[in-house]
């Protein structure tokens, strides 16, 4: 009679080439959309209105791209990050197909790198995760790497494999949702007049608004994505009695706040990288600023792409990111690098 509960995987349990089918598929519906609007100040029109989405060539309003991300990510937690010490980074993230109400998503990860740390107690594991819908289509893929505890410090180190990852997804590899057409885009209903051509590389935007976060909110958000990491829910799981806010909660909050200045950065199609710079706790007031890192055209009618840095903070002046030592300032929560689609 074996123990029935899941102890999570340790560093020794991962090997390059291993494929992990994550559990608990999830059918998402319009209820999840309503909840997203309740949990975040999300106002991008394409995810709020079926009519607006239809005027952009889509059959209806898809679920927010971050709902897709959170659902796919959440399923990986019991297999990838239950014993993780830290979530180290993201790369090569692409949204390949919108997620519609009624879709059923599951997640699959392949281990693409392992590297034991010199302390012999932990190692880094790289996985490429795919979110798959009921038709077998991949809706989202991304790489993330985490630091994981070894079960036994005495066990042998595996052969080091560090995957080569793109720093930035080339614009021509971005996948534009089928049918998307911004030529009849309604800037009034979208909320701002700024077109792709109005943004310049290097431009910085202070999104101005702030939201003070509460324990009940971040726990509900994290649970909604079936993310079960103890540190988000259990005040007895950390020595200081605090609950660590799921990094994805900060991503969604910052992305929603970025509406004010980037209302037309409608769809997220690429995740070039990201760092959770400092922990976020209840009581923090989250603000955001953005920087335009690059611009690209796409083949789709009226559709341009902006590469954006999205920074979430819990204080400090906008546009400050790192100290003289090259480290993130203590008030910086998130530094995300993504591609969004914007009307030309």
- Subset of 134-193 contacting a second copy (CB under 8 A): 134, 188-192
Considering the rule CB under 8 A, would residue 221 count as an interface residue with a second copy?
Answer: yes
Q: What distance in Å separates the CA atoms of residue 249 and residue 66, rounded to the nearest whole number? A: 10
Query: Should residue 13 be labelled a site residue for a second copy when binding is judged by CB under 8 A?
Result: no
Question: Is there a contact between 254 and 311 (Cβ–Cβ < 8 Å)?
Answer: yes
For 111-155, give the DSSP string: EEEEEE-TTSSEEEEEEEEEEE-TTS-EEEEEEEEEEEE-S-TTS
Q: How far is the CB of 194 from a second copy (least distance, A)?
A: 6
Cα torsion 252, 258, 259, 263 to 10°: value is -120
Work out which of 9, 45, 254, 312 binds a second copy, going by CB under 8 A: 45
Among 208, 297, 319, 330, binds a second copy (CB under 8 A): 208
Name the minimum Å distance from CB 10 to a second copy.
16
Distances (CA, A) of 122 to 8, 18, 132, 150, 159: 15, 19, 31, 5, 14
Spell out the residues 6+ positions from residue 210 whose beta carbon is closer than 8 angstroms to its own: 257, 285, 286, 287
Minimum distance, C-beta of residue 118 to a second copy, in the bound complex (Å): 31
Q: Give the residue from 340, 344, 294, 309 showing the smallest Cα distance to 47.
A: 340
- Is 337 near a second copy (CB under 8 A)? no
- Closest distance between a second copy and the C-beta of residue 7, in Å? 9
Cβ closer to a second copy: 42 or 140? Answer: 42
Q: Does 238 interact with a second copy (rule: CB under 8 A)?
A: no
Considering only the stretches 41-49, 89-97, 152-160, 164-172, report the one whose residues sit in contact with a second copy under the rule CB under 8 A: 41-49
- List, in sequence order, every residue forming a beta bridge with 211; answer none if it has no partner: 286
Of 157, 165, 171, 219, the one binding a second copy (CB under 8 A) is 219
Instruction: Report 295-334 residues binding a second copy (CB under 8 A).
Output: none
Please, which of residues 255-274 interact with a second copy by CB under 8 A?
A: 260-263
Tokens representing 180 are 């998307």
Q: x/- binding map, residues 91-110, to a second copy, per CB under 8 A?
A: -----------x-x-x----
Only one residue has tokens 């889509």, namely: 58
| Cβ neighbours for 204, distance < 8 A, ≥ 6 positions apart | 289, 290, 291, 292, 318, 319
Please tell me the count of residues contacting a second copy according to CB under 8 A: 77
Q: How far is the CB of 107 from a second copy (least distance, A)?
A: 10
Nearer to a second copy, 74 or 123 (CB): 74
Q: Which is nearer to a second copy, 48 or 97 (CB)?
A: 48
Least spacing, CB of residue 34 vs a second copy, in Å: 3
Of the residues 175, 214, 319, 320, which one makes contact with a second copy according to CB under 8 A: 214
Q: Is 97 helix (H, G, I), strand (E, B) or coil?
A: coil
60: left (phi over 0), alpha (psi -120 to 50) or beta: beta
278 binds a second copy (CB under 8 A): no
Contact assessment for residue 64 and residue 48, using Cβ atoms and an 8 Å cutoff: no
- Does position 5 interact with a second copy (CB under 8 A)? The reply is yes
d(CA 88, CA 135): 32
Binding mask 115-134 for a second copy (x = CB under 8 A): -------------------x
């Amino acid at each position: 009679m074996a123990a029935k509960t899941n102890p999570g995987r340790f560093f020794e349990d991962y090997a390059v080439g291993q494929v992990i089918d994550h559990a608990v598929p999830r059918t998402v519906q319009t209820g999840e959309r309503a909840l997203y609007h309740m949990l975040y100040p999300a106002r991008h029109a394409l995810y709020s209105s079926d009519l607006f989405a239809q005027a952009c060539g889509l059959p209806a309003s898809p679920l927010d791209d971050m709902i897709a991300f959170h659902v796919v990510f959440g399923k990986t937690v019991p297999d990838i990050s239950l014993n993780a010490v830290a979530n180290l980074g993201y790369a090569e993230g692409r949204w390949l197909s919108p997620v519609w109400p009624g879709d059923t998503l599951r997640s699959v990860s392949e281990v693409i790198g392992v590297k034991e740390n010199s302390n012999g107690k932990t190692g880094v594991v790289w996985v490429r995760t795919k979110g798959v819908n009921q038709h077998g289509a991949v809706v989202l893929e991304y790489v993330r790497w985490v630091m994981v505890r070894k079960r036994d410090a005495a066990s042998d180190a595996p052969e080091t494999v560090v995957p080569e990852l793109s720093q930035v997804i080339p614009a021509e590899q971005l996948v534009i949702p089928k049918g998307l057409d911004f030529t009849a885009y309604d800037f009034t209903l979208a909320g701002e007049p700024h077109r792709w051509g109005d943004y310049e590389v290097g431009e910085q935007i202070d999104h101005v608004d702030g939201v003070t976060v509460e324990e009940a909110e971040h726990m509900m958000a994290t649970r909604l994505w079936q993310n079960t990491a103890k540190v988000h829910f259990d005040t007895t799981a950390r020595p200081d009695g605090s609950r660590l806010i799921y990094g994805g909660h900060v991503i969604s909050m910052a992305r929603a706040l970025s509406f004010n200045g980037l209302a037309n950065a409608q769809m997220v199609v690429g995740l070039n990288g990201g760092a959770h710079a400092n922990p976020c706790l209840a009581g923090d007031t989250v603000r955001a600023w953005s920087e335009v890192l690059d611009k690209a055209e796409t083949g789709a009618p009226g559709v341009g792409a902006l590469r954006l840095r999205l920074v979430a903070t819990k204080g400090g002046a906008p546009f400050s990111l790192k100290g003289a030592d090259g480290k993130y300032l203590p008030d910086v929560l998130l530094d995300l690098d993504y591609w969004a689609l914007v009307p030309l």
